């Protein structure tokens, strides 16, 4: 079976790139300068942001349907990223060291 994992489209976030911190705060967004790796998983390129990069922490509605399954969560996006990642028949390395929802680890 073939599978595909893609990053988020950067278009909905572009208006945030480069905004002053006070404007971001009004929108409920926080800017961080990455100071550790891993720690800031970018959802566009599906990778850990590198130390020194600027990322935005924001709430993202990943299931916006108007039903009981509606859901959103905090995510990081790296400022200025233009192209979403695409992985075909492989899992992005960023997933390796993390516990994923509903997954179990065995030794």
Alpha-carbon distance of 47 to 7, in angstroms, equals 9
55-94 pLDDT, tens digit each: 999 999 888 889 998 899 999 999 999 999 999 999 898 8
Strand partners, 76: 42, 57
- Give the start-to-end residue ranges of the domains of the chain: 4-95
Could you tell me which residue, 84 or 104, shows the higher pLDDT? 84
What does the DSSP assignment read for 43-106? Answer: TTTTEEPPTT-EEEEEEEEEE--SSTT-EEEEEEEETT--S--EEESS--GGGTTSPPTT----
Decide: helix, strand or coil at residue 3. coil
For residue 105, pLDDT over 80 is answered with no
């Amino acid at each position: 079976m073939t599978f595909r994992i893609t990053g988020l489209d950067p278009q909905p976030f572009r208006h945030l790139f480069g905004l002053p911190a006070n404007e971001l705060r009004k929108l409920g967004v926080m800017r961080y300068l990455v100071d550790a790796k891993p720690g800031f998983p970018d959802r566009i390129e599906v990778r850990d942001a590198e130390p020194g990069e600027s990322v935005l922490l924001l709430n993202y509605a990943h299931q916006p349907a108007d039903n009981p399954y509606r859901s959103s969560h905090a995510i990081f996006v790296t400022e200025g990223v233009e192209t979403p990642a695409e992985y075909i028949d492989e899992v992005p390395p960023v997933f390796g060291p993390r516990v994923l929802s509903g997954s179990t680890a065995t030794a």
